[in-house]
Chains A and B, each alone.
Chain A
C-alpha cells in the first residue's frame, strides 16, 4: 500500500533561516510525490512534484524538495523562510499500482515562520 508520513505536526523557524518540512514515503514501485500548501481558509495549492529525473525538484515560491530513494524521503526545503510561508504543508504520493488516480496525503505539517 502507498502511504506518506509527515513526522512533525509543527515546524517553527525564524524568518530568514532555512526551513525543512519532512516527508517519508512507502510505495511499491516508482514513487510519484507531491507537495501542496494550504493557507488558512483556502484550498490546497500545488507546489512541486517528483516523477523521475533529477533528485532536486524546484517548485513555486522558492521551494524545492529533495528526493532520496535510499532514505525514502522527499523533504521540502527553502533557503530563506518568509513570514508569508506560514501555512499547512501536505506531502502526497499517488498510487502507481492498482489505482493511478488516487492520491494519499500525509497528515500535514504546520509551518510557523516568526519575524
Chain B
C-alpha cells in the first residue's frame, strides 16, 4: 500500500458526460501527478500540482482539468467524454515539487473509467 488513495475504483458512464476523479496523496506529500494508462497509448503523464498550483503539464486534453485543494487532495475532471477516454487513471504523489533528485513518485491504485 503506497498511501495514495483514489476514488472511485470503477466508474461507468456514457459519452458526453462529465466525471470527477479524486486523489489523496500520501501524508506529507505536496505534489500530485495524474496519469492515463490505456492499451494503445501506454502510461501518459497528464498534469502535476504542487501545493495547490499547477506545476507541469503533459498530454492533457482541453476537455480535462484538474485542481489541488488546500488540504492537498486533488480532483481530475473529465468532460464531454468520448469512448477513447476509457482508461485507467492513476494519481501519484511525491514529497517535493519534483525538482529534488531523490524525489520518487508513489502511485495510487487507480480509477478505471469506462465510457459506453
**Cβ contact within 8 Å between B99 and A46:** no
CB distance from A69 to the nearest CB of B (A): 17
The yes or no answer to B109 lying at the interface (CB within 8 A) is yes
Residues of chain B at interface, number, CB under 8 A = 27
B 57-92 binary contact with A (CB < 8 Å = 1; else 0)? 010000000000000000000000000000000101
Given known A99-B56, A101-B48, contact A90–B101 (CB-CB < 8 A): no
Q: Which of A17-25, A75-83, A103-111 contacts B (4 or more CB under 8 A)?
A: A103-111
**Cβ contact within 8 Å between A49 and B99:** no
The yes or no answer to B104 lying at the interface (CB within 8 A) is yes
**Cβ contact within 8 Å between A43 and B42:** no
The yes or no answer to B114 lying at the interface (CB within 8 A) is no
**Cβ contact within 8 Å between B109 and A42:** yes
Question: Which residue of B48, B90, B101, B110 contacts A32 across the interface (Cβ within 8 Å)?
Answer: B101
The CB with the most chain A CB atoms within 10 A, among B43, B99, B105, is that of: B43
Task: List residues of B whose CB falls within 8 A of some A CB.
Answer: 2, 4, 6, 31, 33, 42-43, 45, 48, 50, 55-56, 58, 90, 92, 97-99, 101-102, 104-110
